[in-house]
Every structure is written in C-alpha cells, then in structure tokens.
Amino acid sequence: MKTTIKSAAIGLLTLLAVTTGFTASAAEETPKAELKVAGNLNDQPLFQLNLNNKENNRYAIIIKDELGEVLFEERVSGVNIIRKFQMNADELTGVNVNIEIINLANSTSSVFNIKNNKTVTTEIASK
C-alpha cells in the first residue's frame, strides 16, 4: 500500500478592491487608482499599485492592518505613479490589510482591502 500525502496552500490571497474616492466617470476608461497582483517574489505575493493621474498631484499611501496599525506610509507626487509592495503572507496569515490612497490636494481617498486567507488541503491516495 502506497500512501502519498500532498499539501497545497489554496487561496493564499483573495483580493477585494473597494474604492471610495477615485471613481472613474463613464467617459474615462482607466480607473484613477488600481491594485493588481503582480505575481510572487521569493514565494511571497507582490502587489502593484497604479495611480493613473494625468496631472502632477501629491498622494499619501498608507498600509494598515485590520486593527488600524500602520505597517507602511509614504508620500508620493508625480504623474502615473507606480509602486510595488511585497507582503509577507506568513506573518499576515488571517490578517486583512488595507491600502489607502489619499489625494492630498482635495482629501479624497481610495481604499483597497486585501484579505489574506490560507487553506491547507491534504490528499491521501493508496493502492
């Protein structure tokens, strides 16, 4: 009888984007702010934040955990700003992370919520 045990992490990160500020009008095709999964680096998720602004603006990027503790904060300015963030999924297992982008010119904001769920599946096969 041969037994094989196979474990896999499924649904490591489920990305839910909730935008409140930078909403695109019907005439605009590109959203003002978007967060994408850019892949994995060293087995950790990598996210890419795109601020698709056409004018030179200043923004605050604040990353917080679900309890409101600030994990990262940065002030940026420019046009078409791109930032990449790598999350340590092992340290943040079961913890939701919020990425808030605040337009410092008019105080509008956009919030992205990253839910970090990890599920382990075990398969047993015997012959």
Domain boundaries along the sequence of the chain: 4-125
Check: CB of residue 97 under 8 Å from CB of residue 69.
no
The CATH fold assigned to 4-125 is Immunoglobulin-like (2.60.40)
Tens-place pLDDT, residues 34-75 = 888 888 888 888 899 999 888 899 999 999 988 889 999 999
User: By C-alpha distance, which of 12, 60, 11 is closest to 33?
Assistant: 60
- pLDDT, residue 77, reads 93
CA gap 71, 59 in Å, rounded: 17
CA gap 49, 22 in Å, rounded: 13
Q: How many residues does this entry show for the chain? A: 127
> If you average pLDDT over residues 115-122, what whole number do you get?
70
Check: CB of residue 110 under 8 Å from CB of residue 72.
no
pTM: 0.64
How many other C-beta atoms can be found within 10 angstroms of the C-beta atom of residue 53?
17
Give the range with max mean pLDDT: 7-16, 53-62, 90-99.
53-62
